[in-house]
Amino acid sequence: MTDLSERDTRGPSERANRRLVAISGALGGVIGAAMAIMSVVQLPHGAKPGSLDMWTSPLPLWFAIIMALVWGVFLPIISWRWHRVVDEHESRAYRDGALAAFYVVALGAPVWWFLWRGGVLPPLQVEWVYGALMASCGIVWMWRKYA
- Give pLDDT, residue 47: 64
125-138 residue pLDDT tens = 888 999 999 999 99
Give the rounded percent of residues in the chain with a pLDDT score beyond 70.
84
Gyration radius of the chain over CA positions: 20
72, 69, 32: which is closest to 54 by C-alpha?
A: 32
Whole-angstrom distance, CA of residue 86 vs CA of residue 43: 43
The larger pLDDT score, comparing residue 116 to residue 3, is at: 116
CA distance 146 to 90: 9
